Structure 1
Amino acid sequence: MNTRSAAAKRAMDLALTLAALPLALPMMAAIALWVRLDSPGPALFRQQRVGRGGALFRIHKFRTMHLHDGAGPQITAGGDARITRAGSWLRRTKLDELPQLIDVLRGDMSLVGPRPEVPRYMALYDDDVRRQILSVRPGITDRAAIEFRDEERLLAASTDPERTYVQQVMPVKQRYYLDYVARRSVGGRCAHPAGHAAGAGEMNRGQAAGLASAQTRGGYTARPTHNHTPALAHPARTAMNTVAISTVTHRIPPC
């Protein structure tokens, strides 16, 4: 995305967010009160995510889980015992994402764009693919988020939800993300990852090193692949979601 297009998109994000806030704030206040009354703990949850250019930021959400030591998985499958009663409804309706309007105002996010990942999963992407995805601001919603709106249900059916997410879901999301970036690049053409030019989306060495250090945490190790899809050092795949995820794959626009 060139500088002029990025500035126009940022201006639109600010205009729409400022227009929506008067309507959203009363609802956010009511939800915050409900979260506090439903279970002990703060109304908001913050978590480190990877933003534009590899910069780390803390995303804002309504808290949907009981307080815990953070030792559990960084993905959530349906039926997760950590989810509160209020959190179950908020996650189903996606209203837990409303506080991300704050992140849009701060400039960390856009209304539309690739969903921001935690460093551990972002580190699994091929370097060139990661640079393309991080060349734009992450968003509150995008095509991948819509297509995978039932992601928690899909993961709940897996015997290993994290492996299913990394090996089956992430490659599909990657294609959506690259399509989004390509359609907003000069000419709107899909470019090979290797052709990505240095610029706002490039990470500095410190940021790249920080992501690289996240690759091996939790037992998963990224390895490069010729088709630029994330992969694990262990090639075994879970088969339970193949049909459901293949259905989503067929809807991906050609690049």
Structure 2
Amino acid sequence: MYKFFKRPIDFILALIATVILLPLLLPLMITLRLTGEGEIFYLQHRVGKDGRPFELLKFATMLKNSPNIGSGTITLQNDPRVLPFGRFLRKTKINELPQIFNVLKGDIAIVGPRPQTPECFGYFPEDLKQEIMKLRPGITGIGSVVFRDEEAIIGASDKDYSECYSEIMAHKAELEVWYAKNLSFLLDIKLIIATALVILHSKADVSKMFKGIPDMPESMKV
């Protein structure tokens, strides 16, 4: 039943959030215009519901040509392509705020499987992709919360970043499928609270809030 009301609820909440956040968004836009490469927004190709492609809106935090440099669309710990002000935006997740407009448009939800670039989506196990694509992606979700230290995990691994990322995505896919099977209004509220907690304190252990989620392999814990 909740699935039928999720989209209207998301639209109303996104509309309210846009009005509330406008005083914050405007100064950030001016700062971005005056710093770095002068870019305010960054549009990135993502895989949406039913596999439909869409453009995800973010504040610009990296060099313009970053997808064609180094590790491509995979961001590493202390990635040199990240601009100084962009590092702050990424750490606080403020760079994600423009996605509220994607919610209004209907590309994504507030909570759902995190939308991936086509390259990153390719790392998902084939048998889980179809389940993930049944849902509208979200600004935040169980995969984003559990793997909030994704860059640190890759940085601490002795494996090649592509191999390490492949393992991360396999587990992240399991988490997103778990979310799809347990979708509820209460779960979405818990994930919003968990997102706020890990933003305020990156080491906060929020996994206990979610009973039955797939356990993270020891090799991925930092």
Shorter-normalised TM range:
0.7 to 0.9
Q: C-alpha deviations, 1:150-171, integer Å up to 9, x for none? A: 21222223452232111x2112
Q: Is 1:78–1:152's contact at 8 Å kept on the other side of the alignment?
A: yes
Q: TM-score, normalised by structure 2?
A: 0.78
Cα separation, partners in 2 of 1:156 and 1:126, compared to 1, 3 Å: closer
1:243 to 209, 212, 218: 218
Question: Which of 155-164 and 6-15 deviates more?
Answer: 155-164
Structure 2 unaligned blocks of 5 or more = 185-215
CA distance in 2 between counterparts of 1:80 and 1:35 reads 19
> Where does 1:43-82 land on structure 2 (aligned, <5 Å)?
43-68=40-65, 70-72=67-69, 73-82=72-81
Cα separation, partners in 2 of 1:33 and 1:151, compared to 1, 3 Å: same
Counterpart in the other structure of 1:104: 103
> Where does 1:149-168 land on structure 2 (aligned, <5 Å)?
149-158=148-157, 160-166=160-166, 168=167
Q: CA RMSD in A?
A: 2.1
Write the letter of the residue equivalent to 2:142. Answer: R
1:132 corresponds to 2:131: yes
1:5 corresponds to 2:6: no
Counterpart in the other structure of 1:32: 29
Structure 1 unaligned blocks of 5 or more = 186-240, 249-255
Q: C-alpha deviations, 1:199-233, integer Å up to 9, x for none? A: xxxxxxxxxxxxxxxxxxxxxxxxxxxxxxxxxxx
Cα separation, partners in 2 of 1:69 and 1:140, compared to 1, 3 Å: closer
Q: Larger radius of gyration, structure 1 or 2?
A: 1
CA drift of 1:32 comes to 1.5
Write the letter of the residue equivalent to 1:5. Answer: Y
Q: Is 1:115–1:140's contact at 8 Å kept on the other side of the alignment?
A: yes
CA drift of 1:113 comes to 0.3
CA drift of 1:20 comes to 1.2
Cα separation, partners in 2 of 1:149 and 1:69, compared to 1, 3 Å: closer
Of Structure 1 and Structure 2, which has the larger fraction of its residues in helix? 2
